[in-house]
Each structure stands twice: as structure tokens, then as C-alpha cells.
Chain A
Amino acid sequence: MGTKPRTPHDSPKRGEELDRDPLLLPVALDQTTHDAEEAHWSPLKIAIWGGISLLGGLSWVMLAVVRGETVNAIWFVFAAICTYLIGYRFYSNYIQKHLLHPDDRRATPAEYKADGKDFAATDRRVLFGHHFAAIAGAGPLVGPVLAAQMGYLPGTIWIIVGVVFAGAVQDYMVLFFSMRRGGRSLGQMARDELGKVGGTAALVATLAIMVIIVAILALVVVNALADSPWGVFSVGMTIPIALFMGVYLRFFRPGAVTEVSIIGFILLLAAIIGGGMIADTEWGSTFFAVDPLPLAIGIIVYGFVAAILPVWLLLAPRDYLSTFMKIGTIGMLAIAIIIVRPEITVPATSEFVNGGGPVVSGSLFPFLFVTIACGALSGFHALIASGTTPKLIEKERQTRFIGYGGMLMESFVAIMALVAALSIDRGIYFAMNSSPALTGGTVEGAVTFVNSLGLTGVNLTPEMLTETAKNVGEETIVSRTGGAPTLSVGLANIMQQVAGGSGMMAFWYHFAIMFEALFILTAVDAGTRVARFMLQDSLGNFFPKFKNTSWRLGAWVTTGIMVSAWGAVLVMGVTDPLGGINTLFPLFGIANQLLAAIALAVCLAIVAKRGLFKYLWIVALPLTFAAVVTIYASFLKIFSTVPAVGYFAQNRAFSNALDEGLTSFGTAKTVEAMEAVVRNTMVQGVLSILFVVLAIIVMITAVQATWKSYKSRSFGTNEDDAVASQMFAPSGFMATPEEKKLATRWDAQLAQAKLDKAGKTTRR
């Protein structure tokens, strides 16, 4: 054994500690064995990778160069998968080899801190599923839909290229560094690496960002469910279903998680079908048709109650249901897209790349890159990758498969969402995604507005809108903003071609709404709880009593503060005369990308401390990009003189109008509405400033820490001490031939030990 230390960090002393008795089975393959396996290119391997490269290249040509009337969706799938495979095989390998240096002779926290509960070595394929279920949610389903207004190409390139060089790199690094620190959280790592100022700024920024993310996710749900009796009923039923599952698990069948999830899933299907029947009745369609504002208040009250109820009653069962649905529906969507292979008529780049689009305002750069956050680069993942996953990982080298690979999988979800959104008629797309302020919320208004946009090949008729609404079982589909309804229409369109025909469209539509709402409400519950604990921890520094998390009153007060914070933003979005999601969604993306910038900044400081300046660019590249995009987007949001883009420009325009004594201005038809715009834009502008200032502080402290490491060449580490591992497991999804050989020897030894034990003989 004994690979030579390649960095100042891997000191020889540590190496000796990890040397293993040569009489025992090795716990890791030699670095030379790994290198030899990689360097060996058999003709078959060459043919396979040649084929992947050719197919990927051809797909990109079909998407980016060939300009036909339509482009087939299958090229999106091939371009994505081939690029992911190449990125995973070569780029993540490069990062592993030069930047992270995993050492499988070292025990992971799951081994040296094993307690059978929070720290428990988990099979890599199972953990991949766990990790994916924790990172993927409604985000990658919503962002790409809104970005489809720019045409199909910009979003596709950003999702696929962005994940390879930014998103997956961030997830991989954070997971690895947290694992080397016993599973420490991002906030703790920030404090360790960046000092008090950087650490505090990172913590406050994380808290503020969580609030805005939860609020805007909740806004997506409100927009999808408002005035939809069917949706309100079926999503509302998830609460009693989850309560039932919780009681079942607690008292009747503890541990029967899959069983209860299947029961819950069947009940969900019943709720969707029942929702259709109830929406058809007179009383049902009036009782469950809830306006946006009461719905928002309902979600706020629900969020508070869910966060103070014990986990077993509501949160845990909902989480099981959500995980079950996630794996099932995403697999189903992938298969359906491959079977149906819809033709896409949307142009590669649309009329709105320079701005002026009704769905998200602003030009392609930088706003495309904040509209699509999840799926390309998502800062929120840094919280997950420094949470449960590092405590469960078996071997260090598996971080690549789980961290990098898991994010590629999320990116693929984003590509499928994009395809689903692109597959619907462009006229319908714009009618659904333009705010009621523009369409008036009526079919005629929407038709007039969309046709006035002068989009090539778009000729929207009222029949198209009423027909689609009827097919999906809704009163209307005009101005159903937020992305979720559009995705659901696209998905229903694709699924009905696989199963059920147009008669099933309404079912598939509400199925899609249901799972998006389920993912979001799970994220809202969990986010509120996490935020509450963070707040309690911070308040505890001033009022020590708050540190005690089982103090009831303290828990209620802090939960109340967090819920009112996101609730206020939610109500602001719902009542916004300018349309809500259109103005707020950029804030969601900016917040998420700023969190990514913070996470990458922490990684930068760590890499510098390891003395790897030659490979610092691997971190600096996505960090610089995220920093430029978010700071520029924030800058525009703060300083732009175009009212549609700049919060304060809008604010000034409306204040001036009020000063002039106008009683109606733009899309605000009353003085109250105008005052609401003035208030909202001020809040949004102040939030933009807060986020960007905090993130800049974190980035500056990270650059300072990096420079200090460079100047002093002193390479301390905050990693846990190396402990020798006593077990072996392969690193990737499939074991390599050499890994298989070693695994077989371990299996034989384990079988022998069992025999010995059974035969009452002592071991060894």
C-alpha cells in the first residue's frame, strides 16, 4: 500500500497510520491498480466511448445547428445522457484525481462514528436513491418551464453544461469535504474556514435564502391550486392521508415504511379520482374553489401547525410518500418521453432573448441563469450534501458517484421538465404563463395579448384554450403562472399518448399537480423546521434559553417568526398587482445561486488550504460564474431604470404616479393596488440588497482565506483525524473487475467468519 503523499495535506505520518497489516485483506485498491484500470482501453471500451461521443455530438448538432421546422425530443435526451456520461467519466474523475484525493484506506464517519442510527454505512446504490430524493424536488420541474420563453437552446445548454462544470462539482465537493469533517454542516464549515465574519454572514444569508425559497415554492403551489376545486381537494387530501400513515406506522406497523407508502399512494390515486368527481358536483365546485389569498393563508397556517407537530405524525409520512412518488413518477416520465418522442416546434432562441418576455422579465444574460437554478447549479444542495448523506457514506471514493452522479440525475429531471413544457403549443404556453395583469384572466384577453406578441408561428384561438382547459378538467388555464400547471399540461399531453388517451388527460394533469404540490409542501415543512432550528441556535447566542430546542414556547416563537417571514413574502406575491411569480421568481433563483456561491467560496478556501493552487480553477470557474451572474442580476434588479426589471425603478414609477394623484397606473387599477406595488417593490429591492451584500462578504472572506494560504503556505486542516478503515466496498454504480475480485475475497471471508461463529470456534 502506502501511496505517496501528493499534497502537503496528506502528510506521511497520516499515511503510516493507515497502513494495514499485509496479512489482512486490503480495504482499498492501490492507487496504481485504479490508475492501471483506467488507463487500460480495450477495443470494446474504445468502441463504447466512441459511440457515446458520436451520439452526443450528433444530438448537439441536431439541437444547435440543424434548423428544421421541428426538432424531436429524443435529441434532448441523447444530448443530455451522452454529455453526462462523458462529464462523469472524465471530468469528475479528473476532480477526484487532482483535487479531492479520496483515500479508501480511511474510514468514513459512517464507520468510525457508527451508531447504527445517524451514522450507518449504507450501500452506495441505496444512498444514491436517498440522496437524489433529498435533493430533487419541484425546483428542477419549475425553472426550466419558465425559461422556455427564451427558446429551447439556451436552457438546454445551461442545464447540461452547467451541471457538468458547476452544479455537480459543487455537490461533489461539499459532500466530500463534509464527509472528511464527520458530516459537519455548511454553516459550521464556513465558520471553520472563513472565520467569524464570513461564517456569520454565511449563516444569516442561508437563513434569509431559506425563507425566500420556501415562500416562492409555496407561491408556486398557490398559483397551481387557486380556483381549481379538483386540485384543492386532491392536494388537501394529502394531509389526512399523511396523518393516517403516521398513526399506522406509530401504533400498528412500526417500520413498515414501503407498505404504508404503497397504501398512501393508492389513497392518493383515489383522492385524485375523487377530486374529479367532486369538482363535477355543484357544491364541490363552489366549496373547493378557493381564491389565492385564502389559499395562501391556509398554507401559512398549515406550515405553522406542521412545523410544531411531532415529526412522526405528519412530516415523516409525508416524506415517505414524497420519496415514493419521486422515484416512481420521474422514472415514468423518462420512459414516457422516450416512447412518445414529441416533436418540438418552439424555436431554438425566441424573440425574447434580449428581454421583454412576459414570463420572466429581463434579458437572457443574466436572467436565464437565475431562472434555471435547480438542475444546473443549486446552492440548496450544499445543505443536503452537508447533512445526512456524508454520515451514511461507506467509502470515500463513493462521494463521486453519489455527489456528482446524483446531481447529474437531477439535471436530467430538469431536461425532461423542459421537454414537457416545450411540447405544448407556444400560444398556449404564453397564455398560461403571462400574468393576469396582462391577459385580464379571460380567454379573449389572453388570445388578444398572445397574438399581439407577434410570435412567429403562433396563432392562438379561444377554442384552443377552452378545449385544453376542458381536457385537463379545469375551468380555465389562462394565467396559470408559476410553471407547475404548464408542466402538468405538457406531462398530461405526453402521458395520455402512452396510457389512456385524451380521456385520461385530466387525471394525468392532476396527478402531476399533486406530485409537484407534494414535493413542495414537504420542502416547506422541512425548510420551516430547519430554519427554526437555525434561528434558535443563533438566538441562543444572545438568549441562552433558546438553545434548548425542547423548550416549547421557544420552539413556537421561533417557528412563528420563520413562518411569518415566508408567509409575508407569500402574501406579497399572491396579492401583487404586477403578477407575483414574474417579479418574485428571479429572487428565488438569485437566492439559490448566491447560496451556491457561498458554498463554492467555502470550497475554494478549503482547496487552497490543501495547497492545490494548480487546480484551484476547478472551484474558481463555477464560483466566478455564479458570482458574476448573481451579482449582475442583483445589480440590474436594484439599479436598472427599466421598471419591468428594476425593483426600485418600478417603485419610483408608482410613487411618482401616486404623487401625481393618479388612481390607476399600468396594471394596478386602484390606489390600493398602486400602494401595494410601492410596498412590494421596496421589500423585494431591500431583500436583493441584503442577499447580495451578505454573499459578497462571504466571497471576500473566502478569497482572503485563499490568499492567506497562498502567501503563508501553511496548510492546516479542519478535517477529522484519519482512522484506518476495516471494510471494503466498490466505488461506482458497477464494481470494476479489480474491485469485483477484492469484493469476492471479502465475501468469502465474511462467509467463513459466519461458519466459524456458527461452529462455536473462535475467530482468527
Chain B
Amino acid sequence: MSLLASVRQGAKGFAWFMRGVMGDDAYDKYKAHHQALRDAHRDTHHDPDAAVCDGPRMMTEREFWRDQTDRQDINPQGRCC
């Protein structure tokens, strides 16, 4: 059982690593960033309804992925030899 558990944990860790390296988690990170901003905003204003920040609106998942490649269009990154 403990062997099975550690195998499962290893597989989970590998999946987490691959997701990160391949960039699957980009939107999750973006969302977390926005939520943290919103929380901080709410904390400072002590107003539970102040959900709307002054900053940019949070993009939907589809918008985010489009925006990501569009940003690469104008800001290319080298790949080494």
C-alpha cells in the first residue's frame, strides 16, 4: 500500500512538473495573481463589495491563451542552439 502511495505521489509530482514546464498552468497562475490582487484590494478598503479593482479586468481562459501567443508575436524569445 505504501509502495502504491509513493508511486502515486511520484506520478503526481511528475505530472505537476510537466504541467509547469510545458506551461499548462499559465492561466491558473494568472488567475491566482488576479485573485490575490483583488483580495489585497478588499483588505485595504474594508469593503466586501469592492470586488472591482482599478487594474485591468481579468481575462477569461480563452482570452488569456490568445493574449499569450499575441504577446509572443511582439516580444519574441530566442531559442538557443
Chain A residues close to B by CB (< 8 Å): 114-118, 120, 122-123, 125-126, 129-130, 133-139, 213, 217, 249-250, 254-258, 261, 310-312, 315-316, 319-320, 322-324, 327, 374, 378, 380-381, 383-384, 387-388, 520, 522-523, 525-527, 529-530, 532-533, 549-550, 592, 757, 762-763
Q: A133-B21, A254-B65, A261-B22 are in contact. Are A530 and B72 (CB under 8 A)?
A: no
Q: Is the CB of B21 within 8 A of A316?
A: no
Listed residue (B21, B26, B77) with the most chain A CB atoms within 10 angstroms of its CB? B21
Question: Which of the listed residues B20, B33, B34, B76 has the most CB atoms from chain A within 10 Å of its own CB?
Answer: B76
Number of interface residues of B (CB under 8 A): 39
A324 and B22 contact, CB distance less than 8 A: yes
Tell whether, in the assembled complex, residue A311 and residue B73 are in contact, meaning their CB atoms are under 8 Å apart: yes
The answer to whether residues A255 and B26 also contact, given A126-B21, A311-B72, A312-B69 and a CB cut-off of 8 A, is yes
Enumerate 22 A-B pairs (CB-CB under 8 Å) in ascending A order: A117-B26, A120-B33, A122-B20, A125-B17, A126-B20, A129-B21, A134-B77, A138-B81, A139-B80, A217-B81, A254-B62, A255-B26, A256-B24, A257-B24, A310-B73, A311-B76, A312-B69, A312-B70, A315-B72, A316-B72, A323-B22, A763-B43
Q: Does the CB pair B65–A255 fall under 8 Å?
A: yes
Which residues on the A side are within 8 Å of B62 (C-beta)?
A: 254
Q: Which residues of B contact A258 (CB under 8 A)?
A: 18-19, 22, 24
Cβ-closest 4 pairs across A and B: A116-B33, A126-B20, A139-B81, A312-B69
CB contacts (< 8 Å) of A324 on chain B: these are: 22
16 more contacts with CB within 8 A, not counting A116-B33, A310-B70, are A115-B33, A116-B29, A116-B32, A117-B71, A120-B30, A122-B29, A135-B80, A139-B80, A257-B22, A311-B70, A311-B73, A320-B23, A522-B79, A523-B80, A526-B76, A529-B76
Question: Smallest CB-CB separation from B30: which chain A residue?
Answer: A116
Tell me if B69 and A316 are in contact (CB < 8 A).
yes
A530 touches B65 (CB 8 A): no
What residues of A have a CB within 8 angstroms of the CB of B79 in the complex?
A: 134, 137, 319, 322, 522-523, 525-527
B contact face: mostly helix, strand, loop, or mixed: helix
B33 touches A255 (CB 8 A): no
Among B19, B22, B46, max chain A CB count under 10 A is at B22
Residues B81 and A118 in contact, CB atoms below 8 Å apart: no
Known: A114-B33, A123-B20, A126-B21. A255 touches B77 (CB 8 A): no
CA distance A83 to B60 in the complex (A): 48
- A255, B61: Cβ atoms under 8 Å? yes
Q: Which residue of A lies closest to B39 (CB)?
A: A757
Cross-chain contact A250 with B33 (CB below 8 angstroms): no
Give A530 to B73 CA distance when docked, in angstroms: 10
The listed residue (B17, B26, B65, B75) touching A249 by CB distance below 8 A is B65
Question: A137 touching B81 by the CB < 8 A rule?
Answer: yes
Q: Are A126 and B17 in contact (CB under 8 A)?
A: yes
Given contacts A126-B20, A324-B22, A387-B78, are A255 and B73 in contact (CB under 8 A)? Answer: no
Contact between B68 and A117 (Cβ–Cβ < 8 Å)? yes
Give A671 Cβ to nearest chain B Cβ, in Å.
36
Contact assessment for A255 and B27 in the assembled complex, using a CB-CB cutoff below 8 Å: yes
Q: Does A213 lie within 8 Å of B20, measured CB to CB? A: no
A171–chain B nearest beta-carbon distance, Å: 11
Q: Which residues does chain A contribute within 8 Å of B70, judged by CB atoms?
A: 310-312
Confirm or deny: B45 has a beta carbon within 8 angstroms of a beta carbon on chain A: no
Which chain A residue shows the least CB distance to B56?
A115
With a cutoff of 8 Å between Cβ atoms, the chain A residues found around residue B65 in the complex are: 249-250, 254-255
In the bound complex, what is the Cα–Cα distance between A634 and B73 (angstroms)?
36
